Structure 1
Amino acid sequence: MALRSLAFWMVMVLVLVLVVALAPGAVEGSSRKLLAQANAVVAAQAYGICNALVTVHGYQCQEITVTTDDGYILSVQRIGGGGTGKPPVIIQHGVLVDAAAWLMNSPDKTLPLILADSGFDVWMANSRGTRFSRRHTSMDPSNPKFWNWSWDELVAHDLPAVFNYVHGQTKQKINYVGHSLGTLLALASLSEGKLVDQLKSVALLSPIAYLTHMSTPIGAVGARLFAGEITTAFGFAEFDPKGEPVAEFLDRLCATPGVPCYDILSVLTGKNCCLNASTVDLFLDHQPQPTSTKTMVHLSQVVRNGVLMKYDYGRFDLNYMHYGSFSAPHYDLSKIPNNLPMFITYGGQDALSDEHDVSRLLEYLKSHDVGKLVVDFIHEYAHADFVMGINAKDLVYNKVISFFNQQQ
Structure 2
Amino acid sequence: MGKLLLILSVIVLLLLWESAIAATITIPVAFGDDGDGICKSMVESQGYTCQEHKVTTEDGYILSLQRIPVGISGNKATKSPVLLQHGLFMDAVTWLLNPPTESLAFILADDGYDVWLANTRGTNFSRGHTSLSPTDQDYWEWSWDELVAYDLPATLQYVHDQTGQSMHYVGHSLGTLIAFSALSEHKLLNLLRSAALLSPIAYLAQLRSSIAKFAANAYIAEALYKTGMREFDPREEAAINVLEDICKKTNNNCSDLMSSFTGPNCCVNSSRTIILLEHEPQSTATKNLIHIAQMVREGSITMYDYGSENENNKHYGQSSPPAYAMANIPDDFPLFLSYGGQDYLSDVNDVKILLDTLHNHNGDKLLVKFIEDYAHADFVFGVNAKQLVYDDVMNFFQDY
**Would you say same fold, with TM above 0.5?**
yes
Matched, 1:312 2:305: yes
Distance 2:31 2:275 in 1: 13
Q: Which runs of 5+ in 2 are unaligned?
A: 1-5, 17-26
Offset from partner CA, 1:303-353 (integer Å, 9 cap, x none): 111110000000111111110101100001111111111100000100011
Q: Distance in 2 between matches of 1:151 and 1:222?
A: 18
Q: Which of the numbers 308, 320, 329 marks the counterpart of 1:327? A: 320
Of 59, 63, 69, the residue aligned with 1:80 is: 69
Per-residue deviation, residues 130-160 of structure 1 (Å, max 9, x unmatched)? 0100010011111000000110000000000
In 1, the alpha carbon distance for the partners of 2:144 and 2:86 equals: 13
> What residue identity is the alignment partner of 1:231?
Y
- In 1, distance between residues paired with 2:178 and 2:130? 24
Specify the alignment match of 2:36 in structure 1: 47
* Structure 1 residue matching 2:337: 3-state secondary structure: strand
| Count of equivalent residues | 379
Q: CA deviation at 1:281?
A: 3.6
Match of 2:90 in 1: 97
Distance (whole Å) between structure 2 residues aligned to residue 171 and residue 84 of structure 1: 14
Could you tell me which residue of structure 2 aligns to residue 56 of structure 1? 45
Q: CA deviation at 1:396?
A: 0.6
2: CA distance, partners of 1:358 / 1:113: 28
SS in 2 for 1:108: coil
2:345 is the counterpart of 1:355: no
Q: Is 2:219 aligned against 1:229?
A: no
How far has the Cα of 1:256 moved from its partner? 3.7
Distance 2:162 2:183 in 1: 22
Between 1:189-198 and 1:244-253, the stretch displaced more is 244-253
Quick one: distance in 2 between partners of 1:116 and 1:109? 12
Structure 1 range deviating more: 389-398 or 242-251: 242-251
Does structure 1 conserve the Cα–Cα contact (< 8 Å) formed by 2:77 and 2:114? no
Could you tell me how far 1:284 is from its partner in structure 2?
2.9
For 2:169 and 2:122, the matched residues in 1 are separated by: 21
Q: How far did residue 173 of structure 1 move? A: 1.3
3-state SS in 2 of match to 1:218: helix
TM-superposed CA distance for 1:230, in Å, is 3.3
Question: What is the aligned-residue identity percentage?
Answer: 49
Partner-residue secondary structure (3-state), 1:358: helix
C-alpha displacement of 1:221: 3.9
2:57 is the counterpart of 1:65: no
* Aligned-residue CA RMSD (Å): 2.3
| Alpha-carbon spacing, 1:192–1:262, altered in 2? closer, same or farther (3 Å) | same
Q: Contact 1:134 / 1:141 at 8 angstroms: preserved in 2?
A: yes
Equivalent residues of 2:207, 2:213 under 8 A apart: no
Give the conservation status (yes or no) of the 8 Å contact 1:340–1:372.
yes
Tell me the residue number matched to 1:260.
253
Distance apart, 1:43 and its partner CA: 8.7
Residue-by-residue CA offset, 1:204-247 (whole Å, 9 max, x unaligned): 00001011111122134445666473332354x11111123323
Residue of structure 2 in register with 1:177 after alignment? 170
> Residue 247 in 1 paired to residue 246 in 2?
no
Amino acid at match of 2:348: E
- How far the C-alpha of 1:285 sits from its partner, in A, is 2.7
2:259 and 2:65 map into 1 onto residues whose CA distance is 31
Contact 1:15–1:265 (CA under 8 A) maintained in structure 2: no
**1:396 matched to which residue of 2?**
389
Greater CA deviation, 346-355 or 77-86?
A: 77-86
Residue 23 of structure 2 is matched in structure 1 by none
**Is contact 2:182–2:188 with CA below 8 Å preserved after alignment?**
yes
TM-score, length of structure 2 as denominator length:
0.89
Structure 1 stretch displaced more, 269-278 or 113-122: 269-278
TM-score in terms of structure 1 length: 0.88
Per-residue displacement from partner, 1:270-304 (whole Å, max 9, x unpaired)? Answer: 10000132123422331111010000000000111
Instruction: Specify the alignment match of 1:215 in structure 2.
Output: 208
Amino acid at match of 1:130: T
Residue 160 of structure 2 is aligned to residue 144 of structure 1: no
Structure 2 letter corresponding to 1:48: G
- Are 1:14 and 1:264, in contact at CA under 8 Å, matched by a contact in 2? no
The answer to whether the 8 A contact 1:181-1:208 is kept is yes
> Given the superposition, is the C-alpha separation of residues 292 and 15 from structure 1 closer, same or farther in structure 2, using an over 3 Å criterion?
farther
